[in-house]
Structure formats: C-alpha cells, structure tokens
Amino acid sequence: MAPNAAVPFWRAAGMTYITYSNICANLVRNCLKEPYKTEALTREKVHFSISKWTDGKPEKPTIRSDSPEE
Amino acid sequence: MGLAGVDMVIVPATTGQMGVLPGHVATIAELKPGVLSVHEGNETTKYFVSSGFVFIHANSFADIIAVEAVPLDQIDANLVQKGLVEFTQKLSSATTDLEKAEAQIGIDVHSALNSALTG
C-alpha cells in the first residue's frame, strides 16, 4: 500500500484543490477574447460577509472581498 | 450548458482523455485543464474546461462540473502564448514551493490552451 502515492504537485506544495481550481479558472479567463473577457471578470469577484454566532446571536460580521489577481 | 442527449463526450480526465458513451460504467473522474468534446451525429462541439469533475451515473447520465468551460473560439491565441512565456519565466525565478506550484499550474493551463487551439 502506498498511502501517499502520486500526490499532485500542487497538493505537495500545500495548496488545496479549491485554490488550484480557482487559479486554473482565473488563468483561462485571462486568455479570453473580448467581450468574453470582461464578462468573465465579473464572475471572478467574490464578496461575502461572515459572522460568528454566540449564544444564538451573531457578532459583528467580517466582510471578505476577493479581488482578482492580475 | 444544460441537459442534452448526445452520442459521446470526450472529457480531459487527469488520467487522460476519456471517451464516455451511453452504458459507460458509473465513474467519478477528476478533470485537468483541457478540451471537452461533445459528439452528436456528425457534429462535434468543443469546449475548454479549466478543471473540475465528471460524474457518470449508472443510468448513462453524465454531469460535467467545471468552474470555467469556454467554447474554443473564445480563446485568444496571443494571450495564451504570452501567458506560456510568462509562467515559464516565473518557474525559473520561483523560490518557494508555493511559487513553483503556481508557476507550474500556469504552464500546464497555458500549454493545454495552446494544444486546444492547435490540435
């Protein structure tokens, strides 16, 4: 048995699948022709707010906004 | 994309191009950046998928999940070439494992885009 057989290089470097997948998607989006490229850039924007809950009440939310890397 | 009945799809699995026909054994496969081709009668429609998965169900339904899937004609060949050169350079100047991994991903994706356009 080889429990660590054939780990993908990105996993070996400490990256998770979701990070890998998002990098791939961003690279593909950057190689598009116009007008598809501008439409795609709108898909890249991630904007969400997180709140921790204690005693059934939400605390102050943190806003997380991902700007696409160029 | 949506629900359609087709003759065959060829998906870019990490283990290689996989042809899926009706009656294919139920499978889950991870996809690598590459070309997805949908064959219906005499027509073939090709898309480039950035990464993702394909779930082939026992009833001959196949779900293809990709963050980005673009028709090949939306890809700009010049940008692909520039990207390939840029990431090849980045790999040689990369120091940390993470930088090397990111540069390698860049090379893989751009090479796959290049093959998709020239293949």
Shortest Cα–Cα distance, B74 to chain A (Å): 6
Per-residue pLDDT of chain A (70 residues; tens, 9 = 90+): 556 567 889 999 999 998 899 899 989 999 999 889 888 878 777 667 778 888 888 888 877 665 444 3
Cα Rg for chain A, rounded, in angstroms? 18
**pLDDT by residue (tens digit) across B5-25?**
899 999 999 999 999 999 999
Residues in chain B, pLDDT under 70: 1-2
Q: pTM value? A: 0.81
Strands (DSSP E) along chain B, which ranges? 8-13, 16-20, 27-31, 34-40, 43-49, 52-56, 62-66, 69-71
B3 and chain A in contact, CB less than 8 A: no
* A34 half-sphere exposure, CB direction, 13 A CA radius: 0
- Residue B4's pLDDT is 77
| Residues of chain A neighbouring B105 (CB-CB closer than 8 A) | 10, 20, 23-24, 27
- Residue B50's pLDDT is 94
Shortest Cα–Cα distance, B90 to chain A (Å): 14
- Residue A66's pLDDT is 58
- Residue B10's pLDDT is 95
- Cα(B54)–Cα(A17) distance, rounded to whole angstroms? 15
Amino acid in the structure at residue B36 = L
Please report the ipTM that was assigned to this predicted complex.
0.88
